[in-house]
Amino acid sequence: MEGKRSSLSISIPSDLLRRIRELTLSILTNLSNGQSPVVQIDRFRNYCTETSGNCYCNCGISVGKELLTLQRECHTRRLDVLLRVLLVVQTLLQQNRHGSKRDIYYMHPTVFKEQSVVDRAINDICILLQCSRHNLNVVSVGNGMVMGWLKFSEAGRKFDCINNPNTAYPVPVHVEDVEIDIIGVARYILVVEKESVFQRLANDSFCTRNRCIVVTGRGYPDVPTRRFLRLLIEKLHLPAYCLVDCDPYGIDILTTYRFGSMQMAYDAKFLCVPEIRWLGVFPSEVEKYCLPQQCLLPLTREDKTRVEAMLLRCYLRREAPQWRFELDLLLSRGLKCEIEALSVQSLSFLSEEYLPSKIQGGVYI
């Protein structure tokens, strides 16, 4: 049985159930005939380190296949896990119910042993069934938050953020059930890396004064946050900016929003947000804003390794050369800082001066 990514996600439960039957029937037929079943899983990537520019990353094209067979012990375990998870997915689809990845893990914790084992099986199933994860009725526990000039509904529940634009609301988990109330009041969307900065902006009534929408994934964004952000941009046609720490992890989070993650490269075209622009904090701004030495930290060996690896990613060379320049500068100077370091100017400097001046002045890349 072969699984590869099609150009469109299949979202009709009956189609998915048919594919599940075909997959399991193929495996059972091989076993009944005394043959070892072979499951072919296409592999995808959203970047490579190819310097010639002749790569197919981010195009939804398979870059190879992985063959799972009972003739290898490690593959036997993976197939066991895959079939167990597939049975749960089938039940969810048949009963029109939803479950989290963590729910699935606790159904067979002694077999799965680690959450990552379940996560990998779910990704494999998405590729085999040619769908996105939400089509399986498998949802994430939402971490994201949103506030600002926005109205939306989720499965009939209405959320009027405009009445309290500086109050945090959870990002909806079932994004496919979300309807955005298209009202031309917000001027832009601001994505901030972490909750502490999100709360700082809320305390400063940033959304009230700037008529914007602010989203945070509270670190590396989960799938609902990325899907919700993409939906907002598609429906509202607003510019989107991203504010992250001036360190390797912050910049890596920025690339996850714009280009997607390697783990879910098979679904990158449905999750990435190519419109998003990097607003700061740039390594080149450390001197401009006169950040004192006590606000700066030396890059660790792990930091340097991460930056060096990021500099090799093809999408930065191809689509974001200015980001590579800033990464080079971060590496050469060997110093990093957090967004909160800007508060050395004043507690309200971020919301009252830094962000408005950069957005109005077009200082982003």
pLDDT digits (tens, 9 = 90+) for 167-223: 999 999 888 888 887 666 899 999 999 999 999 999 999 999 999 999 999 999 999
Q: Would you say 154 and 177 are in contact if contact means Cβ atoms under 8 Å apart?
A: yes
**Burial of 95 per CB tally in 10 Å (0-12, 13-18, 19+):** exposed
pLDDT over 60 (residue 7)? no
Give the mean pLDDT of 56-77.
78
- Residues near 24 by Cβ (< 8 Å), separated by ≥ 6? 83, 86
**HSE-CB of 271 using CA atoms within 13 angstroms:** 26
Read off the pLDDT of residues 275-310 as tens digits, 9 standing for 90 and up.
999 998 999 998 888 788 888 999 999 999 999 999
pLDDT above 90 coverage of the chain, percent = 59
Give the mean pLDDT of 308-315.
94
Q: Report d(CA 87, CA 186) in Å as an integer.
A: 44
pTM of whole model > 0.85? yes
**79 vs 327, residue with greater confidence:** 327
pLDDT over 60 (residue 1)? no
Q: Report d(CA 355, CA 326) in Å as an integer.
A: 19
Torsion of CA 221, 231, 363, 262, to 10 degrees: 40
**Banded model confidence at residue 92, pLDDT cuts 50, 70, 90:** very high
Q: Report d(CA 349, CA 362) in Å as an integer.
A: 18
**Banded model confidence at residue 267, pLDDT cuts 50, 70, 90:** confident
Residue 180 is predicted with a pLDDT of: 85
Mean pLDDT across the chain = 89
Q: How many CB atoms lie within 10 A of CB 45?
A: 18
Give the mean pLDDT of 77-89.
91
CA distances to 123, 195, 247 from 130, in Å: 10, 34, 36
Does the N-terminal peptide bond of residue 141 adopt cis geometry, omega within 30 degrees of 0?
no
Residue 249 annotated among the catalytic residues of the structure: no
- Residue 244 DSSP SS3: coil
| Residue among 47, 105, 106, 169 flagged as catalytic | 106
Q: Would you say 134 and 228 are in contact if contact means Cβ atoms under 8 Å apart?
A: no
Read off the pLDDT of residues 134-146 as tens digits, 9 standing for 90 and up.
899 998 777 899 9
